[in-house]
Amino acid sequence: MFAELNFNDRLREAQSRKESILCVGLDPDVDRLPRHLLRGNSEAEAVLQFNRTIIASTHPYACAFKLNLAFYEVLGRRGFEVLQKTRHMIPADCLTIADAKRGDIGNTARKYAQAIFEQLNFDACTIAPYMGRDAALPFLEYPGKAVFILVRTSNYSSIEFQSWPVEGVPFYELVARHAVRWNMDMPGTIGMVVGGTHTEAPAHLRAKFPTVPFLIPGIGAQGGSMQAATQAATIKGRILVNSSRNILYQASGANFATRASQVAMETQHRLNQLLTPYQP
Amino acid sequence: MFAELNFNDRLREAQSRKESILCVGLDPDVDRLPRHLLRGNSEAEAVLQFNRTIIASTHPYACAFKLNLAFYEVLGRRGFEVLQKTRHMIPADCLTIADAKRGDIGNTARKYAQAIFEQLNFDACTIAPYMGRDAALPFLEYPGKAVFILVRTSNYSSIEFQSWPVEGVPFYELVARHAVRWNMDMPGTIGMVVGGTHTEAPAHLRAKFPTVPFLIPGIGAQGGSMQAATQAATIKGRILVNSSRNILYQASGANFATRASQVAMETQHRLNQLLTPYQP
């Protein structure tokens, strides 16, 4: 029955159950892992142990985990295994997002969709919009799952193309307008990636797209504002606020798990406090 | 010494030596492999055997091979191994392109660059432009290598965003104008992906960007015109014309290698004939 819910319903359910809109980003950078994990371990083993500990320490405070695939691909031959094992460590009461930023066409996009939604059974995936709807359609064939389109990304050079004025609005807004039409007659859900470093973007886009789920990265290490992010949260328009480095790398000693747990809890609470005015 | 040449020099050298501007796309789709390869073999083994045979049959006619990473990732646990082994099967007189269409930022882009340029030692990589220069810079730190930015893609829905008029020109042209500035003071080379299905695009972009290498996909199965592609070829402005499915899947029986070899040779010759008026 759960599988028949659409992604928005599943997101609402997960967020209500966990009383959290926090998504923990599992971006395990070998250069930043606590050194003791690497002693006598391969890099792949160290990452697995790190992820296992981070998931155990933070899942009570999170409604979702986002895995940035680059950090797994760079592990080479064992990357897929680490990705798959990490995916399966995530408790069933949390949603899972493959931050893959894929953007390809036709038969290629279909292959990516199979890998991410069938083999790895992620609940959602991020997609780059430049090639148009061809990049998203194969992912939208999956009921209950979501495709988060890069609309307003959190990085500095996002202004290079995304802010260009086109027909009186920034380019990213036109991308958003198109993207929300891509799932007509498709079972999948369209979501948007809206960087929390652009303080105006979350509320601006929410006003235009009242029911689209937003994935908001850039809080924490990138300096984004939790307050700006939560302004996009409404009962019907859900947001997922992602924090990666700020939770993962609080400490480099044996206390890294305790510190990660503490910061995840604080972030959950802070987000909930900020939400109160919007979601009574 | 070879490693000190920049990518344009390496491309010129490879094309002169092989008398070819053909790039063979290694997109091994398990559903389309000759069935006899799958008998008694795992999918990964069948793909390796297919690639080995295709490379052996076509490399005399090609100056480069392009590997679309989606087809390897979908193999799951053994995907990286198949990718790595295929990479190492490619003769040293051909350049190698990772068609990854990656687009991510900062530490993530750096991880992708390490995986593709260091671990796998590809000569070039495709990159999606939506996030701006952050996605390309880590790849441009490698001397002798190139980053092909998606400018005008070959798929139908590329018109959705790429054709939008901005400041009097199509959006893709503004992307191109920005992209050519990204490698200032960087050792890497900027190239562009220009779909051969848009008959006007190759010559139009060549007029604006006389020395940028173009990777032109969409010839063959996607219906692109070899003639339109070769109009972008000049002595200083090199092009690589890619063909994948039209070479790989000519036959499904034991004769697949002979047919692939024949079509690769015909394509090489046809391209060279078309080139003659442009490169005396």
Query: Which residues in chain B touch residue A105, judged by CB atoms under 8 angstroms apart?
Result: 153-155, 157
CA B63, B123, B98, A147 torsion-angle sign: negative
In whole angstroms, give the CA distance from residue A124 to residue A23. 13
Would you state the torsion angle of the CA atoms of residues A133, A139, A143, A144, taken in this order, to the nearest 10 degrees? Answer: -100
Residue A259 φ/ψ, nearest 5 degrees: -70, -40
Catalytic positions of B, please? 101
Query: Which residues in chain A touch residue B133, judged by CB atoms under 8 angstroms apart?
Result: 157, 160
Q: pLDDT tens for residues B167-200?
A: 889 999 999 999 999 999 899 999 999 999 888 9
Report DSSP state, residue B254: T
Comparing CB atoms, the residue among A29, A101, A135 nearest residue B104 is A101
Q: How close, in Å, is residue A158 to chain B by CA atoms?
A: 5
Closest residue of chain A to B30, computed from CA coordinates: A111
Would the CB atoms of A161 and B81 count as touching at under 8 Å?
A: no
Nearest of B32, B42, B132 to residue B81 by alpha carbon: B42
**Which own/partner contact pairs does B72-75 have at CB distance under 8 Å and 24+ positions apart?**
B73/A80, B73/A111, B73/A112, B73/A115, B74/A111, B74/A112, B74/A114, B74/A115, B74/A119, B74/B30, B75/B30, B75/B43, B75/B44, B75/B47
Give the A:B interface size as CB pairs under 8 Å: 168
Q: How far is CA A186 from CA A8, A134, A146, A189, in A?
A: 14, 13, 11, 8
Tell me whether strands B189-194 and A214-216 are parallel, antiparallel or unpaired.
unpaired
Task: List the single best residue of B111, B166, B180 to mutate versus A (max A Cβ within 10 A).
Answer: B111
Catalytic positions of A, please? 101
Q: pLDDT tens for residues A45-97?
A: 999 999 999 999 999 999 999 999 999 988 988 999 999 999 999 999 999 99
Please give the helix or strand (H or E) that residue A173 lies within, else none: helix A171-179
Length of chain B, in residues: 280
Answer whether A248's CB lies under 8 Å from A27's CB: yes
Q: How far is CA B193 from CA A119, A181, A265, B101, B254, in A?
A: 30, 27, 45, 10, 34
Burial of residue A40 (number of CB atoms within 10 Å: 0-12, 13-18, 19+): exposed
Q: pLDDT tens for residues B225-272?
A: 899 999 999 989 999 999 999 999 999 999 999 999 999 999 999 999
Tell me which residue has tokens 């990138």.
A222
In whole angstroms, give the CA distance from residue A23 to residue A41. 28
Tens of pLDDT along chain B (280 residues) come to 445 799 999 999 999 999 999 999 999 999 999 999 999 999 999 999 999 999 999 999 999 999 999 999 889 889 999 999 999 999 999 999 999 998 888 888 998 999 999 999 999 999 999 999 999 999 999 999 999 999 999 998 999 999 999 888 999 999 999 999 999 989 999 999 999 988 899 999 999 999 999 999 988 777 788 999 999 999 899 999 999 999 999 999 999 999 999 999 999 999 999 997 655 4
Q: How close, in Å, is residue B59 to chain A by CA atoms?
A: 23
In whole angstroms, give the CA distance from residue B105 to residue B241. 29
Q: Which two tokens stand for residue A58?
A: 């933070």
Answer whether B26's CB lies under 8 Å from B55's CB: yes
Nearest of A199, A200, A261 to residue A224 by alpha carbon: A199
In whole angstroms, give the CA distance from residue A261 to residue A247. 8
Q: How close, in Å, is residue B151 to chain A by CA atoms?
A: 9
Task: List the single best residue of A26, A67, A119, A131 to mutate versus B (max B Cβ within 10 A).
Answer: A131
Q: How far is CA B252 from CA A110, B7, B35, B87, B267, in A?
A: 22, 36, 7, 24, 20
- H helices within B70-200, ranges in order? 70-73, 79-89, 106-113, 159-162, 171-179
Q: How far is CA B35 from CA B32, B40, B48, B79, B257, in A?
A: 8, 11, 14, 20, 14
Would the CB atoms of A161 and B174 count as touching at under 8 Å?
A: yes
The C-alpha angle B155, B159, B160, rounded to 5 degrees, equals: 110
CA A161, A166, A170, A176 torsion-angle sign: negative
Q: How far is CA B174 from CA A161, B161, B201, in A?
A: 9, 12, 13
Burial of residue B215 (number of CB atoms within 10 Å: 0-12, 13-18, 19+): buried
In whole angstroms, give the CA distance from residue B196 to residue B223. 8
Identify the segments of chain A with pLDDT beneath 50: 1-2, 280
